[in-house]
Amino acid sequence: MEPNRAMAYCSRGVAYYRLGEIQNAHSDYTRAIEIDPNLAIPYYRRGFLHYLAKDYTSAIADYNRAIALKPDFALAYSNRGYAYRDLYGEQEAVNGLGEQEQIGRCHNAIQRQFPQRQFPQRRPLVKPGPSHPANASASHWRLCSLDWETNSSRK
């Protein structure tokens, strides 16, 4: 394995994405995965491209792989939640995710990755009704729905 070379492809994929060259970005993320299939970041980034293309099933598969490789990858949990929501609808996504477990994992991952940061509250990923168990943990959903893209390049 050559992890530095894999990260070079991943970095170039980011540059292609920012230039709007989505297919080239996808190719570079895939090449990074071929070089080092145990690196979480290219799965996450390729999953994001699948999400943008509305290929939610592929996005979820890539986010799942990123999470399996890096269980504290808060961004992957958050984006996977959006993909579930868009594929299955809000209520079905909450029911299928094992909601309390996901809230806890996302919150813990965020705290580990950004221990010194104060985060503004944002709208929840889902809008639970008053009797919904997530209502007690709405602040965790707000944390999980933050846009972390600007911080992901540090990983």
Assigned domain for 146 exists = yes
Domain count for the chain: 1
Using one digit for the tens of pLDDT, what is the confidence trace for 10-23? 999 999 999 999 99
Burial class (CB in 10 A: 0-12, 13-18, 19+), 93: buried
Assigned domain for 29 exists = no
The predicted pLDDT at position 114 comes to 64
Assigned domain for 45 exists = no
Assigned domain for 119 exists = yes
Structure tokens, 136 = 């007690």
Euclidean distance between the first and final Cα of the chain, in Å?
19
Assigned domain for 46 exists = no
Assigned domain for 128 exists = yes
Model confidence, pTM: 0.65
The Cα 41–Cα 10 span in angstroms is 8
Query: Closest Cα partner for 59 from 50, 71, 68?
Result: 50
Confidence of residue 144 (pLDDT cuts 50, 70, 90): very low
The Cα 27–Cα 57 span in angstroms is 18
Containing structural domain, residue 104: 71-152
Burial class (CB in 10 A: 0-12, 13-18, 19+), 109: buried
Is residue 87 within 8 A of residue 60, CB to CB? The reply is yes
Structure tokens, 46 = 């390729």
Return the percentage of the chain with pLDDT > 70, whole number. Answer: 56
The predicted pLDDT at position 117 comes to 58
The Cα 144–Cα 113 span in angstroms is 13
DSSP-derived secondary structure letter, 135:
G
Where does residue 124 fall: left (phi above 0), alpha (psi -120 to 50 degrees), or beta otherwise? beta
Mean pLDDT of 118-144: 43
Assigned domain for 52 exists = no
The predicted pLDDT at position 90 comes to 75
Mean pLDDT of 40-52: 97
CA distances in angstroms from 64 to 70, 83, 116, listed in the order given:
10, 11, 27
